[in-house]
Structures are given as C-alpha cells and as structure tokens.
Amino acid sequence: MVWDHQAQDRERDQPDVLLGLLGHDPEQAVQVNPDPFNLSKCGLNGFCLLFAIPATKTGLDELNCRSQRPLLASFPVKALVLSLFITLVPLGSRACEVALVVALDVSRSVDKFEYVLMRNGIGHAFLDDEIIRLISWMPGGMQVTVTQWGGSGQQRQPIAWRRLSNRQSVIEFVEDLITINRGFWMAETSVSEALLHADLMFHQLENPCRRQVIDVSGDGISNAGPEAKPISDTIATRGITINGLVVAGARPDPVVYYLSEVVRGPLSFVEVTHSYDDYDQAMKRKLLRELTPNLSRLD
C-alpha cells in the first residue's frame, strides 16, 4: 500500500482545495469551476483541467493552461512513420482500430485526493491535442470504457462503451469521466478480478475492434482474490493486450509485480510514475504507445 505524502499534507494543512472539475462528492469538499475548461483563458486548442490546487493566494484568476508540448516533436522520423501507419491501415470489417478498457484502482491505498488526481489526469491526457489527432486519424476511431475495481466482488463500470472519433466526442467523454465518484471505499486489492471484469467488457461490443487493450492502474500488489498471473496469461492467449500504469513507491514493489504477474499480450508494457501529481503525463505517454503500437517498436 502506498500513500502520497503530498496529498496527505494537502488534506491536513489546506482543507480548502480545488479537487477537480464538476465534482459533486460531498466527501471531497469540491469547489465547482463555472468555466471548467477555462476556455476564456486557454482558447479552443488549450483545454485546462483543475487538479488539486490550493485555493489560497493563487486563485482561479492565476490558473494557467498546461503547455501542449508535443512528446514527438523531437522525433520527426517517428512522427512520419506514425502518420503513415495510421493512414494506411485498412479498416476491413472491423468497427474501430482499438477497444480500450481503462480500469481504475479504487482500493484503500488510493486516498480521495489521489483518486481525483488519477481521474482528472486521465481526462487531461485524452484532451491533449496529440491524442485527439491520433484518435481522429484512426479508421473508425476507438472505443473506450471505464471500470473501477477494489477487492473481491468489487468491480463496476461507471462509463459504458463510447466511440471516440473526433474532438467533440473526446470532450463529451471527458466531461462524463471527471464527474464519476469512486464506487468503493476501504477496499482490498484484487488485480485478478479487475482483469476478469475488464475482459468481460469486450463481450458488450457488437463488432470487435482490430485491437483490444486493458489498461489497469495500480499502486500496490494484490492482497485478495486469486493469483493474477494465470488469469492474465489466459486473457492474453486471445490476443488481448494488458498494459499497466503503476504509481511506484510501495513495498513490495508494484512495478516488479505488474511486470511479472499482470502485463501480457502483444506489445504490452508498464508505464511508471512516481507520484499521482504526474499522472496526466504518464497517462499521455501510455496512450501514445497504445494508440500507435508500431511506434513503440522504434524505441
């Protein structure tokens, strides 16, 4: 189990905290921003999300847009390969390029501040201009759903499958994403059952996408349910990719655990961050690799 000391300090010393956009959880003391994307400051191409920001001298008037720094800007050859790869992939009979299950860890190791940083970080990553361009270029776009998981028998699907194909569809998805509250409190950690539940989500799709990916987050190892390895091995035999986004720092090491027991399938990987404060950037890096898997081979 890992705890973010910065988040604990915020909770203790700065109770008046902006926890996220459009949140309505009374447990989180949220202040609602009347201009949630801060469009008046950012312009149409510079969407902003509010993270856990102290409501002290800074205030809403001094919020700045996060810079849209292209991660691929220094790799022109990769960018060329990327555009050619996406443009030339035949659609065939597939409904879309990729179906992605975003499985969020809401076990007791994730406090209420970390949950908001994780949830809003995912939203910020999807709103990034590079990610939106990739989605727009995909034949048929992508399908995405969001699940939450804790211990044994504690899984739910707060956002059903959505087709993302352009900027507007991504914005609508994120607007719903940043309003969902956590479904479980003080839950144990069962990665294996999280995988089983995520795998079931693909059966809801009438037409399969070309690739199926499970994106499971976590900051610790399993302490409930069956072992993860036999389940992840079985899921991967059907061509499904299981990737991980791990917040490092706990003991036993969750990064080692995810590498050995969880991630499986074609071009699978673990994306690592050392703080929930950087979750948005870690999620963006992971999405870039998941949406352009052949680009990862160039690393």
Q: What is the pLDDT of residue 254?
A: 94
In the predicted structure, residue 22 carries a pLDDT above the cut 80: no
Give the chain's radius of gyration (CA, Å): 19
Q: 166 is in which domain, residue-wise?
A: 76-296
Q: What's the rounded Cα separation, in Å, for the pair 52 and 28?
A: 11
Kindly state whether residues 267 and 132 are assigned to the same domain.
Answer: yes
* Strand-strand pairing, 142-149 and 155-164: antiparallel
Phi-psi region of 20 (alpha: psi -120 to 50; beta: other; left: phi over 0): left
Quick: pLDDT tens for 3-19.
344 444 433 333 332 23
Kindly state whether residues 133 and 192 are assigned to the same domain.
Answer: yes
Q: What is the pLDDT of residue 80?
A: 38
Please give the residue that has the higher pLDDT: either 189 or 168.
168
Kindly state whether residues 145 and 31 are assigned to the same domain.
Answer: no
How many Cβ atoms from other residues are within 10 Å of residue 180's Cβ?
A: 16
Residue at 194 is within a domain? yes
Angle between helices 191-201 and 228-236 (to 10 degrees): 20
Residue at 218 is within a domain? yes
Kindly state whether residues 57 and 82 are assigned to the same domain.
Answer: no
Q: Which residues of 196-223 are buried (b: 16+ CB within 10 A; e: fewer)?
A: bbbbebbeeeeeebbbbbbbbbbbbbbe
Mean pLDDT of 91-106: 81
Query: Per the structure block, which two tokens stand in for 253?
Result: 């090491």
Kindly state whether residues 121 and 25 are assigned to the same domain.
Answer: no
In the predicted structure, residue 95 carries a pLDDT above the cut 90: no
Q: Which of 78-92, 97-111, 178-192 has the lowest mean pLDDT?
A: 78-92
Strand order in the sheet with 270-273: 155-164, 142-149, 98-105, 211-218, 241-247, 270-273
Residue at 71 is within a domain? no
Quick: pLDDT tens for 27-41.
433 333 333 334 333
Q: What is the pLDDT of residue 295?
A: 57
Q: What is the pLDDT of residue 185?
A: 81
94 pLDDT tier (thresholds 50, 70, 90): low
Kindly state whether residues 284 and 190 are assigned to the same domain.
Answer: yes
Residue at 67 is within a domain? no
Residue at 248 is within a domain? yes
Q: For residue 74, what are the CA distances in angstroms to 34, 80, 296?
A: 37, 12, 15
Kindly state whether residues 223 and 199 are assigned to the same domain.
Answer: yes
Q: How many domains does the chain have?
A: 2
Mean pLDDT of 131-157: 94
Q: What's the rounded Cα separation, in Å, for the pair 109 and 274?
A: 15
Kindly state whether residues 153 and 13 are assigned to the same domain.
Answer: no
Mean pLDDT of 49-74: 33
Kindly state whether residues 58 and 156 are assigned to the same domain.
Answer: no
Instruction: State the Cα torsion 29-284-60-181 to the nearest 10°.
Output: -20
Which DSSP letter does residue 33 get? Answer: P
